[in-house]
């Protein structure tokens, strides 16, 4: 679990939705055996997104094959960055919104802050500036701290796994492509475009290819251009379609219904009248029900 920095204000939000993100690897990258999900969450935080507050928790997996040299190794739900960058409590969609408003709509940071406040996002002008710089950092080339983390990942796992996700933040037509490393969960670079060819992608990936890190595998969803570009940049690395992407996309679609169902159940059942006392005691010869501590179903 991540420790919150001391200066961070603790905020309570009403109607927070929940999202559990799982490690996207299905098999151990070393021995190939199926990874076992671990119960405790390795990360949890509440994130402000344009769609409202979201409670995000990450579940890791581990290799349990006793013959594997990496038995007991934990693999984290690196894809949680898709909701918000590591250590940030603002959604990636908020960053993309700020970037778009500032660069394409030429709005000042204070105007963007007001627009965000109107959408229910609690943020001050200083933080809007900070989030804008984080977004620019994400769009930039590999940063030095990231390079060091990637080298540490190679030392620990023997290589990196590159994955690409295409996101469509709400409110505008351009896609946000993000390249991230699976073991470390670091989003290393992003590109914002409306239409993209495999050549554009290869061009974008060139600085990462030039890092010359050993690449154990590449991951993407089923989009052909993504797969072609990754195969061109890292021809030696096996490419996998990320099943977790598909599954978590499905989960996102049912999330609203899941929450609505919970809420409705609570409203329906919470309002039931308590069972009258004498109904339990007289029983009319029928089997006598056990006494409940709480008469209401959802205490």
Q: Contact between 34 and Zn ion (CB under 5 A)?
A: no
> Which of 20, 68, 142, 275 lies at the binding interface for Zn ion (CB under 5 A)?
68
Minimum separation from the CB atom of position 31 to Zn ion (A): 3
Exactly one of 21, 25, 63, 161 binds Zn ion (CB under 5 A); that residue is 63
Least distance from Zn ion to the Cβ atom of residue 37, Å: 15
List the helix and strand counts (H, then E) for the chain: 8, 9
State both tokens at 93: 């969609």
Q: Is 152 in the site for Zn ion (CB under 5 A)?
A: no
**In the bound complex, what is the minimum distance in angstroms from residue 27's beta carbon to Zn ion?**
8
Q: Which is nearer to Zn ion, 176 or 217 (CB)?
A: 217
Instruction: Map residue 32 onto helix, strand or coil.
Output: coil
- Give φ, ψ of 16 to 5 degrees: -80, 130
**25 touches Zn ion by CB under 5 A:** no
Is the separation of the CB atoms in 138 and 190 below 8 Å?
yes
161 makes contact with Zn ion (CB under 5 A): no
To Zn ion, the closest distance from the beta carbon of 196 in angstroms equals 36
Q: Give the nearer residue to Zn ion in terms of CB position, either 56 or 160.
A: 160
Contact status: 31 vs Zn ion (CB under 5 A): yes
Residue 11's alpha-carbon distances to 85, 294, 295, in angstroms, are: 18, 32, 34
Shortest distance (Å) from residue 80 CB to Zn ion: 23
Q: How far apart are CA 288 and CA 282, in angstroms?
A: 8
One DSSP character per residue, 138-201 reads HHSS--HHHHHHHHHHHHHHSSEEEEEEEE--TTSS-EEEEEEETTTTEEEEEEEESS--HHHH
Among 25, 28, 47, 161, binds Zn ion (CB under 5 A): 28
**Is the Cβ of residue 72 or residue 289 nearer to Zn ion in the bound state?**
72
Measured CA to CA, the distance from residue 223 to residue 205 in angstroms comes to 16
Footprint on this chain of Zn ion (rule: CB under 5 A): 28, 30-31, 63, 65, 68, 70
């Amino acid at each position: 679990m991540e420790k919150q920095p001391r200066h961070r204000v603790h905020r309570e939000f009403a109607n927070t939705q929940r999202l559990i993100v799982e490690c996207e690897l299905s098999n151990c990258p070393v021995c190939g055996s199926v990874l076992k999900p671990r119960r405790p969450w390795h990360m949890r935080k509440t994130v402000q997104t344009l769609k409202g507050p979201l409670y995000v928790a990450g579940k890791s997996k581990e290799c349990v094959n006793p013959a594997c040299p990496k038995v007991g190794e934990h693999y984290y739900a690196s894809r949680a960055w898709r909701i918000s960058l590591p250590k940030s409590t603002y959604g990636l969609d908020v960053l993309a919104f700020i970037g778009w408003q500032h660069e394409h709509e030429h709005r000042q940071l204070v105007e963007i802050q007001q627009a965000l406040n109107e959408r229910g996002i609690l943020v001050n002008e200083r933080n809007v500036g900070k989030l804008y710089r984080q977004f620019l950092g994400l769009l930039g080339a590999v940063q030095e701290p990231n390079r060091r983390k990637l080298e540490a990942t190679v030392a620990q796992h023997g290589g990196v796994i590159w994955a690409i996700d295409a996101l469509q933040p709400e409110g505008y037509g351009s896609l946000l492509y993000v390249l991230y490393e699976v073991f470390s969960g670091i989003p290393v670079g992003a590109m914002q475009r409306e239409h993209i060819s495999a050549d554009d992608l290869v061009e974008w990936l060139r600085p990462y290819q030039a890092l010359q890190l050993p690449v154990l595998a590449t991951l993407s969803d089923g989009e052909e251009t993504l797969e072609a570009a990754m195969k061109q940049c890292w021809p030696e690395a096996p490419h996998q379609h990320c099943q977790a992407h598909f599954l978590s996309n499905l989960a996102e679609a049912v999330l609203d219904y899941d929450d609505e169902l919970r809420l409705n159940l609570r409203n329906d059942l919470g309002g039931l009248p308590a069972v009258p006392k004498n109904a339990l005691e007289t029983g009319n010869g029928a089997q006598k029900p056990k006494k409940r501590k709480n008469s209401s179903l959802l205490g």
